[in-house]
């Protein structure tokens, strides 16, 4: 007799169905366990795609050790002029103290005299047009400075951003971006006396510590732009005016500020860290006055070099801006090229904005 066993043994068929259901439940349970295991495995991986709440990772934070590592962790003290114990002990502690007192006293006397004798011109608030050249120069200088900052962070030598040339570049970025005012005029006049560092860096370059791609090229571009930026600002005029060539108050005032910046700011930072910021601990390898008396020689020759360079720079810029046929753009160095109009009305009389003469 043909037929399935299930027709003869219904109990067996029910048992088989029960076994199949149990087997299916068992397989489903295994699949669920596999899924749970997979989820647990994924949640333990260092990935953002987790199904469980990630545990808080330990972090060092901004501790003194971490900050110091960013500042001086990459400074190679084996390179001459970079710093280290040998550079720090280049002169005795007594000599450093005496030179510190002499430098600060000299700067205070010079700065007091300059403050009493300097003056600012009256600034008129008038309708002005923004210059495309100033925007372009601002972008270029900012990019160069940004690359310098990136180099310092990548090499963990951020401390060197305190060197005067980097500070002056930051000041020039401010001058290019700030709205014209008497404060801008004062900063502009003072910072022209800091251009000696840019010229010395080009004449006596210190590139033995520059190893990254294009770092040396950026070094020269930065210092070249430091000399170009004031010239352009003098061309457009307005708040960017200079004092008379016979007026040395701003020149000596700027020199006094630079001395105080070295002795009161850079020196207390460089000494404990043993980092030779702007050669306050030991002379550069290219210094023509290399020796234990280099600080005194620096005070002397910079007292002559800073005023001479400032006046030569201003006289040369004035000549090319007002006299030289190919670059002449105005007849008077004090003229403001950003004004929408050069005439204003005072008491019903038209007066020239530049020379105050009636028209």
SS3 343: strand
pLDDT of residue 52: 44
Residue partners of 255: CB distance under 8 A and separation at least 6: 107, 110, 193, 302, 303, 306, 307
Of residues 126 and 123, the one with the higher pLDDT is: 123
pLDDT of residue 55: 45
Residue partners of 321: CB distance under 8 A and separation at least 6: 234, 235, 327, 328, 329, 330, 333
Nearest partner of 164 among 200, 134, 218, 112, judged by Cα: 200
pLDDT of residue 175: 95
Cα 314 from Cα 251, distance rounded (Å): 11
pLDDT (mean) for 141-162: 94
Could you give phi then psi for residue 243, rounded to 5 degrees?
-75, 175
pLDDT (mean) for 59-82: 81
Give tens-digit pLDDT for 212-240. 899 999 999 999 999 999 999 999 988 89
Of residues 281 and 48, the one with the higher pLDDT is: 281
Q: Cα-Cα-Cα-Cα dihedral of 296, 271, 268, 148, to 10°?
A: 90
Cα 31 from Cα 144, distance rounded (Å): 60
pLDDT of residue 146: 96
CA angle 321, 323, 329 (to 5 degrees): 40
Q: How confident is the model at residue 344 (pLDDT cuts 50, 70, 90)?
A: low
pLDDT of residue 352: 53
Give tens-digit pLDDT for 87-124. 999 999 999 999 999 999 999 999 999 999 998 887 66
28: pLDDT strictly greater than 60? no
Among 57-66, 67-76, 332-341, where is mean pLDDT lowest? 57-66
307: pLDDT strictly greater than 90? yes
207: pLDDT strictly greater than 50? yes
Among 81-85, 290-294, 321-325, 335-339, where is mean pLDDT lowest? 335-339
pLDDT of residue 58: 44
């Amino acid at each position: 007799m043909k037929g399935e066993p299930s027709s003869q043994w219904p109990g067996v068929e029910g048992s088989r169905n029960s076994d199949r259901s149990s087997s299916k439940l068992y397989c489903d349970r295994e699949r669920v366990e596999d899924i749970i295991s997979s989820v647990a495995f994924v949640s333990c991986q260092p990935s953002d795609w987790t199904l469980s709440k990630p545990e808080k990772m330990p972090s060092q934070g901004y501790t003194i050790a971490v900050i110091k590592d960013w500042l001086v962790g990459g400074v190679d003290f084996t390179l001459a002029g970079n710093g280290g114990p040998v550079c720090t002990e280049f002169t005795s502690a007594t000599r450093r103290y005496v030179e510190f007192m002499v430098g600060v006293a000299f700067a205070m006397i010079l700065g007091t005299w300059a403050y009493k004798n300097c003056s600012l011109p009256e600034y008129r608030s008038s309708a002005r047009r923004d210059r495309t050249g100033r925007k372009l120069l601002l972008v270029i200088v900012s990019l160069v400075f940004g690359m310098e900052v990136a180099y310092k962070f990548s090499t963990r030598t951020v401390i060197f951003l305190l060197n005067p040339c980097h500070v002056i570049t930051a000041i020039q970025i401010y001058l290019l971006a700030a709205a014209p005012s008497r404060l801008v005029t004062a900063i502009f006049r003072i910072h022209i006396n800091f251009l000696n560092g840019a010229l010395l860096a080009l004449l006596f370059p210190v590139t033995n510590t520059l190893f990254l791609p294009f770092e040396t090229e950026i070094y020269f571009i930065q210092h070249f732009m430091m000399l170009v930026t004031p010239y352009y600002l003098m061309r457009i005029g307005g708040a960017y005016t200079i004092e008379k060539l016979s007026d040395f108050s701003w020149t000596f005032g700027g020199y006094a500020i630079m001395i105080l910046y070295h002795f009161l700011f850079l020196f207390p930072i460089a000494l404990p860290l043993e980092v030779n910021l702007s050669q306050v601990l030991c002379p550069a390898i290219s210094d023509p006055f290399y020796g234990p008396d280099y600080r005194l020689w620096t005070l002397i020759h910079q007292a002559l070099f800073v005023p001479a360079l400032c006046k030569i720079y201003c006289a040369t810029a004035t000549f090319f801006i007002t006299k030289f046929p190919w670059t002449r753009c105005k007849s008077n160095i004090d003229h403001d090229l950003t004004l929408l109009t050069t005439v204003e009305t005072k008491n019903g009389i038209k007066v020239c904005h530049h020379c105050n003469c009636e028209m």
